[in-house]
Amino acid sequence: MSTSLLYHAFGIRGYDYVKTDYREGRVVFTIQRRPSTYRCPLCGSRRVASRGCQERTFRSVPIGGKPVLVVLPIPRVECSTCQVIRQAPLDFADPRRSYTRAFERYALELSRRMTIQDAARHLQVSWDVIKDIQKRDLQRRYRKPKLKKLKQIAIDEIAIGHGHRYLTVVLNLETGAVVFVGEGKGADALEPFWKRLRAARARVEAVATDMSPAYIQAVREHLGDAVHVFDHFHVIKLFNEKLSDFRRDLHREATDQMHKEVLKGTRWLLLKNPENLDPKKKERERLEEALRMNQPLATVYYMKEDLRQIWGQPDKATAARVLEDWIGRAEASCIKVLQKFAATLAMHRTGILAYYDCRISTGPLEGTNNKIKTMQRQAYGFRDQEFFKLKIYAIHESKYALVG
Ligand SMILES: [Zn+2]
């Protein structure tokens, strides 16, 4: 084999080809460093003397599907300036790895299209080797996400596994990139993010979160000048939860058997947007019957429909009128759940109407969260936390096949 093939195919330069062996289905190249290229690894001097060598083996890119091993004696050199004996440096492999950089690049390329398992099988290495290659690549790129140009963000937490573990995720709403993954939820989980944000001197203009006190407090403290928008999906979701509880209570309290029957199974119908009711299953008719038989339920249900209108107005002033009207009607309804929700809305009206200053939501985070959950169902989500988090940073690039 020629020296130029060694360089172009395997990324190895400054070595001479010695021989090729075929062992157990593998191609084994033996190469040798040209003594004229010996340098001192400390000072770079050429005035070095050879002091024995140590043989090492590296994996390199396969040929025709056959694994390729590169074997070479790594010389030890004594520098006449530094007066020490050191191993001559390698430039085609990381000193602590048993594969070449060309192999690493090839494995990363495969990782764009294949799962870790597929790439490992194809290259005939262990799952851990491919994971290690991916992890180091991810560390290079995401250990410190750039925050300087961050303008609009969404913050939300995601339950991992069976709900006892949380991650708090911050998304750059302009690029769709995850810029922070914190352990746990609430204010503590965000502390490292605020620190990095300050260090980057970022000027965040708008942030979307749910209405939880922890986020309100944290945003007030760390992003005092930013527009804080309460995400409308979360507001509607919160109302849907109240509606569900209300229906459940009515069902439990119903004494009349027929009444009970009608309420039964209406939970999903109540939560569905009316335009999604299925005519084939007569969903609209069933819902209407339940509402007819139960006036308070009907009131709460129609108030849910009206609630959505708050975010569909042409401007902030009109939206403010719609919101105040909703609050007024809820207060006058004599239905406790509505009155309580009216109080919640009144308390958060600034952040709700802030949507009209900056039309952002945590919606884009939902997609990211779903991908995180898919990833987490793969076993590696728990085996190596750092790797799992790094994978989250890489989600928007879809540089890797999602599953492991
Ligand atoms: Zn030296």
Arithmetic mean of pLDDT, 137-143: 91
Q: Return d(Cα 41, Cα 89) in angstroms, integer.
A: 6
Binned at pLDDT 50, 70 and 90, residue 380 comes out as low
- Cα of 88 vs centre of ligand 1, distance in Å, is 11
Please give the structure tokens belonging to residue 136. Answer: 């180091």
Q: Going by C-beta distance under 8 Å and a sequence separation of 6 or more, which residues neighbour residue 301?
A: 243, 270, 291
Spatial contact of 37 and 14, defined as CB atoms under 8 Å apart: yes
Q: What token pair was written down for 358?
A: 């900056």
- Type and span of the H or E element at 30: strand 26-33
Place of tokens 């409308």: 232
Q: Which value, to the nearest 10 degrees, does the dihedral of the CA atoms of residues 312, 316, 318, 320 take? A: 100
Dist. CA 45 → ligand 1 center (Å): 5
The answer to whether residue 192 scores a pLDDT higher than 50 is yes
Judged by average pLDDT, the poorest of 131-135, 225-229, 335-339, 383-387 is: 383-387
Statement: residue 130 has pLDDT above 50? yes
Using the mean position of ligand 1's atoms as its centre, give its distance from the Cα of residue 77 in Å.
9
Q: What is the rounded CA–CA span in Å between residue 355 and residue 250? A: 34
CA of 85 to the centre of ligand 1 (A): 9
Burial 73-90 (b: 16+ CB within 10 A, else e): eebbbebeeeeeebebeb
Contact 196, 179 (CB under 8 A): no
| Spacing, Cα 90 to ligand 1 middle (Å) | 16
391 alpha carbon – ligand 1 mean position (Å): 41
| Most confident of the following: 43-57, 109-123, 264-278, 328-342 | 328-342
Residue where the block lists tokens 């709700």? 352
4, burial (CB in 10 Å: exposed 0-12, middle 13-18, buried 19+): exposed
Ligand 1 centroid – CA 55 distance (Å): 23
363 Cα to the center of ligand 1, angstroms: 58
19 pLDDT band, cuts 50/70/90, is very high
Rounded distance from Cα 40 to ligand 1 centre (Å): 5
Residue 87 Cα, ligand 1 centroid: separation in angstroms?
Answer: 12
- 16 forms beta bridges with 32
DSSP character at residue 397: G
Which helix (H) or strand (E) element contains residue 383? helix 380-383
**What is the pLDDT, as a whole number, of residue 381?**
54
CA 395 – ligand 1 centroid, Å: 45
* Ligand 1 midpoint to CA 100 (Å): 26
pLDDT of residue 404: 47
CA–centroid distance, 89 to ligand 1, in Å, is 12
Ligand 1 centre to CA of 83 (Å) is 7
Query: What stretches of 159-311 show up as alpha helix (H) in DSSP?
Result: 187-200, 213-222, 232-253, 257-263, 267-271, 283-293, 295-309
Task: Write down the pLDDT at residue 152.
Answer: 96
Of 208, 205, 202, 198, the residue nearest 226 (C-alpha)? 205
CA of 33 to the centre of ligand 1 (A): 19
The token pair that represents 292 in the structure block: 């007819």
Report how far ligand 1's centroid is from the alpha carbon of 86 (Å): 9
- CA separation for the pair 362, 345 (Å, rounded): 18
What's the pLDDT band for 3 if we cut at 50, 70, 90?
A: confident
Q: What is the pLDDT of residue 241?
A: 94
- Give the pLDDT confidence of 62-99 residue by residue, as tens digits: 998 899 999 999 889 999 999 888 888 888 998 889 99
The CB density around residue 176, as the number of other CB atoms within 10 Å, is 14
46/142 Cα distance (integer angstroms): 38
Distance CA 50, CA 181 (A): 50
- Residue 13 Cα to ligand 1 middle (Å): 22
- Using the mean position of ligand 1's atoms as its centre, give its distance from the Cα of residue 93 in Å: 21
Phi, psi of 49 (to 5 degrees): -115, 145
Please check whether residue 372 is in contact with residue 401, taking contact to mean a CB–CB distance below 8 angstroms: no
Confidence of residue 119 (pLDDT cuts 50, 70, 90): very high
Q: Find, among 370, 381, 372, the residue nearest to 404 by Cα.
A: 381
- Helices 316-332 & 336-347 angle (0-180, nearest 10): 150
Alpha carbon of 34 to ligand 1 centroid (Å): 18
pLDDT digits (tens, 9 = 90+) for 325-348: 999 999 999 999 999 999 999 999
Centre of ligand 1 from the C-alpha of residue 71, in Å: 26
Reply yes or no on whether the pLDDT at 163 is more than 70. no
Residue type, 39: R
- 230 and 354 Cβ atoms separated by less than 8 Å: yes
Q: Residue 402: is its pLDDT beyond 70?
A: no
Q: What is the pLDDT of residues 200-232, one digit of tens each?
A: 999 999 999 999 999 999 999 999 999 999 999
pLDDT of residue 156: 95
Q: What separation in Å is there between the alpha carbon of 10 and the centre of ligand 1?
A: 29
Length of the chain (residues): 404
Ligand 1 mean position to 266 CA, how many Å?
81
